[in-house]
Chain A
Amino acid sequence: MAAYIIRRTLMSIPILLGITILSFVIMKAAPGDPMTLMMDPKISQADREQFIEKYGLNDPQYVQYLKWLGNMVQGDFGTSIVRKGTPVSELIMARLPNTLLLMLVSTILALMISIPFGVLSAKRPYSKIDYGITFTSFIGLAIPNFWFGLILIMVLSVNLGWFPTGGVETLNTEFNIFDRIHHLILPAFVLATADMAGLTRYTRSNMLDVLNQDYIRTARAKGFKENRVLFKHGLRNALLPVITIFGLMIPSFIGGSVVVEQIFTWPGLGKLFVDSAFQRDYPVIMAMTVISAVLVVVGNLIADILYAIVDPRIEY
């Protein structure tokens, strides 16, 4: 197992390298540059050139990339161009915890809701409950989360006043865990919807499959009550493929968090990413790319390891 983890970690290095090269090339190929966006149009040519020189934007692109790579490996993501020399790591560290918290909570929420509903659906297939759950899941899949978020804000926050409209905590108050949770509920739920729907459907079909297996009949023949048959003997087998799917869902969580953070003015990486992309703030964009790529690679690694833990037939 340890050997497998080391091998997988080493294998992810070329993947990450490839991702950074591609993103760097695409980013540079996009029209526009940070100067035109942020500088006073009346700035003198000499000042402008001095600025460009200072950020090394005159070097050939491969030199720029190698310089960036060299610094990045040493943990230096450079400084933001647009935000007047603020270190990128500082910008990110201020926001990363918020985003991770949002992703973690919505992941747990998605699992906690979709797995029981999937099992319930499979327990009585083609019943009213099953149709209800299926119908709701398809709605969940079909609704774009920016729209769903806005509707929830309008109804639950503005009209009913049950939830705050955005942010991580009530401003100018001391840290309060309940206040934090209160702010977290809506964005986490919205971020979870799409994956929740998919996971429910997936759990249902796997569970249906498992319930027709001979070992479920054996469990029944042992005299166990239905719930024990379902949860002890069925669910663990049904969840095996779900783990893989879950690893594949991590990118959608990252992408989704960009949108959800904008809507709920959640001060996370998503908003920073969008702003930086518009402003061509190269160092920030690159840092963000590395972080999302690492999240995806690590997420899939964890999924594979989990798979081996849950399924004794898999050995690495």
Chain B
Amino acid sequence: MSTLLEVNNLKTYFFRKKEPIPAVDGVDFHISKGETVALVGESGSGKSITSLSIMGLVQSSGGKIMDGSIKLEDKDLTSFTENDYCKIRGNEVSMIFQEPMTSLNPVLTIGEQITEVLIYHKNMKKKEARQRAVELLQMVGFSRAEQIMKEYPHRLSGGMRQRVMIAIALSCNPKLLIADEPTTALDVTIQAQVLELMKDLCQKFNTSILLITHDLGVVSEAADRVIVMYCGQVVENATVDDLFLEPLHPYTEGLLTSIPVIDGEIDKLNAIKGSVPTPDNLPPGCRFAPRCPKAMDKCWTNQPSLLTHKSGRTVRCFLYEEEGAEQS
């Protein structure tokens, strides 16, 4: 599989009173064509900022890409001007957001909101775009697509709105779909539906997915590979099977044991002690050290780098240094 997106040493900082706050601090990963990669981590770990950096939308929320590169096929997106980006966004890379209830414009019809993208990016005529929009709505499971075209968002439920968002995102056959917690705000019954729909359509269009979530259930269901983020850094990168069978990083292990098991009889729910440090107040050594049950002396003072484990997975932890892993 050839590489679609390659992110290298991405650093996205925010500024408070000229003081830099590293929200994303040296992130590396890649996504192959047609692959679904999940980006996992607690709130504040930098997953959303990573995705906004790829979309080039981080400036409008006050952040700045300080270093690194984001390569989409052979184009370096970090060197793009706003005008260049406008041609890519919604066209080659598109995005679905967490809040379907508020992500659609309340005063425009569903039809208008889908056709405008087609007219803008694909230079379609109004009639042509309408036809395509009806097809797209049918594809995301609306049986009365013609009527839905004329409806306003407030008449639709959350699940329906998210399906409309998927239709909009896929309208221009993007190469990459970034889904930022697409099912978090939905009913559990609808979650599976939406997820499956997204997977199916992306397979049909050969679109890669970057799935951002903190729901490991969603990960196991939808992703091929998982990237675990903590405090703006990648701490582990593995295939879904490997990760769930044998988590390497103590943080990943913590996340996995935090999932409640329904059939097991447990009195107490496991949790990772402490909370995520804020990016303006990071520990000097390993960022997970204060919460890590396996922390060693050097973890408090030295920062581990991303190592390639013998199984070919990468992990950022001193525990695996002795096992003959080499620095990547």
Chain A positions within 8 Å of B, measured between CB atoms, are 213-215, 217-226, 233, 236-237, 240, 310-313
Contact = CB atoms under 8 A, between A and B. Distances in A.
Given A215-B104, A240-B107, A313-B154, 9 more contacts: A215-B102, A215-B103, A217-B97, A218-B168, A220-B89, A226-B82, A233-B108, A311-B106, A312-B152
Interface stretch (B67-75, B115-123, B203-211): B115-123
A215 B99 CA distance: 10
A237 B105 contact: yes
B95 A221 contact: yes
A220 B60 contact: yes
A103 to B, nearest CB: 28
Interface in B77-107: 82-83, 85-91, 94-95, 97, 99, 102-107
A301 B79 CA distance: 53
B152 A219 contact: no
Contact of B86 (A224, A311, A313): A224
29 contacts: A214-B97, A214-B102, A215-B102, A215-B103, A215-B105, A217-B57, A217-B97, A218-B103, A218-B168, A220-B89, A221-B90, A221-B97, A222-B89, A222-B90, A222-B94, A222-B120, A222-B168, A223-B89, A223-B91, A223-B117, A223-B120, A223-B121, A233-B108, A236-B107, A236-B108, A310-B107, A312-B106, A312-B109, A312-B152
A197 to B, nearest CB: 27
Contacts of A236: 107-108
A233 to B, nearest CB: 5
A223 B103 contact: no
A215 B83 CA distance: 20
Interface of B: 55, 57, 60, 82-83, 85-91, 94-95, 97, 99, 102-109, 116-117, 120-121, 152, 154, 165, 168
Contact of A311 (B57, B82, B107): B107
Given A214-B103, A217-B97, A223-B121, A312 B89 contact: no
A215 B110 CA distance: 13
Contacts of B85: 223
B102 A221 contact: no
A222 B88 CA distance: 9
A313 to B, nearest CB: 5
A218 B97 contact: yes
Contacts of B107: 236-237, 240, 310-312
B45 to A, nearest CB: 20
A305 to B, nearest CB: 16
A123 to B, nearest CB: 11
Contact of A224 (B55, B94, B120): B120
Contacts of B86: 223-225
A237 B106 contact: yes
Contacts of B60: 217, 220
Contacts of B102: 213-215
Nearest to A228: B120
B106 A215 contact: yes
Contact of B55 (A214, A219, A221): A221
A233 B105 contact: yes
B99 A214 contact: yes
Contacts of A214: 97, 99, 102-103
Nearest to A225: B86
A240 B121 CA distance: 29
Contacts of B121: 223
A201 to B, nearest CB: 22
A233 B120 CA distance: 14
A313 B165 CA distance: 19
The 9 closest A-B pairs by CB, nearest first: A223-B89, A222-B90, A223-B90, A312-B152, A214-B102, A215-B105, A221-B95, A214-B103, A223-B86
Q: Residue among A213, A219, A222 with the most chain B CB within 10 A?
A: A222
Q: Residue among B57, B87, B107 with the most chain A CB within 10 A?
A: B107
A295 B90 CA distance: 48
A221 B89 contact: yes
Contacts of A218: 97, 103-105, 165, 168
A226 B85 CA distance: 12
A230 to B, nearest CB: 12
